[in-house]
Amino acid sequence: MSSEKLTQEQIAKAALAELISAVEPIIKDHIDAMDQATVSYIVKNYANYLKIDLQRDFEAARKAALTESPFDDLLNNG
C-alpha cells in the first residue's frame, strides 16, 4: 500500500479479514477430522448453532476498553 494514511475503515476491514483468514482453516481442520455421521448429525440437528457470534466478542472487547482507562492506575493509587 502507498504511504497514504489508512482510514479507520480500511484498518478495520484488514483486521477482520486477517481474523477470518486465521479462523477458517482451524474450523475446516476440525470439521475434516470428524467422521461423516457426526458431520451429518450436526448439520441436521444443530444448524441454528453453527454461526460464530463475532459481534458478541467484539462488543465485549469494546465494553472492556470503554470501562478501562489508562488513568485508572493513577487515580486509584493516588
Whole-model pTM? Answer: 0.67
Cα torsion angle, 49, 20, 58, 74, sign: positive
Number of domains forming the structure of the chain:
1
Asked if residue 57 is part of any domain, the answer here is yes
Asked if residue 31 is part of any domain, the answer here is yes
- CB count within 10 Å of CB 40 equals 11
Asked if residue 1 is part of any domain, the answer here is no
- CB count within 10 Å of CB 42 equals 14
pLDDT above 70 as % of the chain: 83
**pLDDT the model gives residue 39:** 98
Provide mean pLDDT across the span 21-36: 97
Residues 47-57: pLDDT tens digits?
999 999 999 99
Parent domain of 57: 8-69
| Band (70; pLDDT cuts 50, 70, 90) | low
**pLDDT the model gives residue 71:** 67
Rounded CA separation 39/31 (Å): 7
